[in-house]
Amino acid sequence: MKFRRIGSSELFVSTVGYGAWEIGGKGWKAGTEDESVEIVKKAFDNGITFFDTAPIYGMGRSERIVGKALKKVRDRVVIATKVGVVWDDAGKVRRCLKKNSILQEIDDSLRRLQTDYIDLYQIHWPDEDTPAHETAEALQMILQSKKARYIGVSNYSVEQMKELSRYVPIVSLQPPYSMLDRGIEKEILPYIREKGMSIIPYSPLAKGLLTGKISGDYELGPGDARGLDKNFTDRDRFLRNIERVEKLKKIANELQISLSQLAIKWLLHKPEVCSVIAGTTNEKHLKDNIGAADWELSEKTYEKITAIVSDEELFE
């Protein structure tokens, strides 16, 4: 396993991390709670030290599982969770970055994760109804009380990062980023580079498309986590993606690696990417993903892959 630093922080993370949305269960086929605890433990046993979760993943389930699995190795792992997406008793979900809500959320996350500090506390989604200085005040209080070590953001634009960083330091951005979603490369990536921050790409395997396991006849079922993703919902784009995947598979075969490994290595080719947090509920897939950390793509292969995924629609 290799390690990279998150931005200017003192956090060093495994270049292959673990995304814990899937084990939250909602929108995905996850196993039992015990099976999910086992897969998180296996991730650690096989070299992963970076775990990304969120309160909303299974409405507390994912954080509880991560906490249970990593309790005994807490000082050897980096735990990232999120703030700003809340739910009520009826299960209605909304964004909220108000000061009091954040101060409540951090305590709930610490309890579920069975820890007294979060390494990386990330704003999950922007909340247009709350001024950045109010959100930042709560985050500063959290930093001062050592309930979190560093602050990151997710799904933020350059403008939103500029505004928030007037009040609180931000070390990372977690945006959607993969060979099939290159939207951040135009404006966001240059900003991240300039500020010395890190990227933690989410949906690095394009929710399974970049594993080769999804075929052209895939149908979105009710409640499917892929149901809000343009790579699936835009039928024409979806079919073009399947064609792209066929071409990418050929390169993976030539290199004698899996397509998932190719997708992870392609992301890690960018020095701004600190860790690739593919999500999985399956031990075989987990080990496959970890195998991607072994060596890096040559510049020539990187260019060959990139040429296949350079259509304008992938930058939208």
Ligand X SMILES: NC(=O)c1ccc[n+]([C@@H]2O[C@H](COP(=O)([O-])OP(=O)(O)OC[C@H]3O[C@@H](n4cnc5c(N)ncnc54)[C@H](OP(=O)(O)O)[C@@H]3O)[C@@H](O)[C@H]2O)c1
Q: Report which DSSP code applies to 166.
A: T
Angle subtended at Cα 229 by Cα 276 and Cα 217, rounded to the nearest 5 degrees:
105
* Binding segment toward ligand X, per CB under 6 A, in 20-28, 100-108, 163-171, 247-255: 20-28
User: Shortest distance, CB of residue 61 to ligand X, whole angstroms?
Assistant: 13
Q: Binding to ligand X (CB under 6 A): which residues in 213-242?
A: 213
Sole binder of ligand X in the list 8, 100, 233, 282 (CB under 6 A): 282
Q: Is 57 a catalytic residue?
A: yes
User: Shortest distance, CB of residue 196 to ligand X, whole angstroms?
Assistant: 21
Q: CA 144 → CA 6, 138, 140, 209, distances in Å? A: 20, 10, 6, 42
Instruction: Fill in the per-residue mask, 95 to 134: x = in contact with ligand X (CB under 6 A), - = not in contact.
Output: -----------------------------x----------
Catalytic residue among 57, 121, 156, 177: 57
User: Nearest-CB residue to ligand X?
Assistant: 19
Q: CA 11 → CA 79, 119, 234, distances in Å? A: 10, 8, 38
- Contact yes or no for 205/259 (Cβ under 8 A): no
User: Shortest distance, CB of residue 144 to ligand X, whole angstroms?
Assistant: 25
Considering the rule CB under 6 A, would residue 204 count as an interface residue with ligand X?
Answer: yes
Considering the rule CB under 6 A, would residue 207 count as an interface residue with ligand X?
Answer: yes
Nearest to 192, CA basis, from 270, 280, 129, 118? 270
With a CB cutoff of 8 Å and minimum separation 6, the contacts of 267 are 177, 178, 201, 204, 273, 276
Give the span between the Cα atoms of 119 and 29, in whole angstroms. Answer: 28
Give the span between the Cα atoms of 120 and 9, in whole angstroms. Answer: 10
Give the span between the Cα atoms of 132 and 170, in whole angstroms. Answer: 13
Considering the rule CB under 6 A, would residue 25 count as an interface residue with ligand X?
Answer: no
Sole binder of ligand X in the list 81, 109, 135, 154 (CB under 6 A): 154
Give the span between the Cα atoms of 175 and 184, in whole angstroms. Answer: 8
Q: Do you know the residue count of the chain? A: 316
Sole binder of ligand X in the list 81, 172, 260, 275 (CB under 6 A): 260
Kindly tell me which of 132 and 153 has the beta carbon lying closer to ligand X.
153
Considering the rule CB under 6 A, would residue 203 count as an interface residue with ligand X?
Answer: yes
Kindly tell me which of 141 and 240 has the beta carbon lying closer to ligand X.
240
Sole binder of ligand X in the list 152, 267, 288, 309 (CB under 6 A): 288
Residue ranges that bind ligand X, judged by CB under 6 A: 19-22, 52, 124, 154-155, 174, 202-208, 211, 213, 260, 277-282, 285, 288-289
Residues designated catalytic: 57
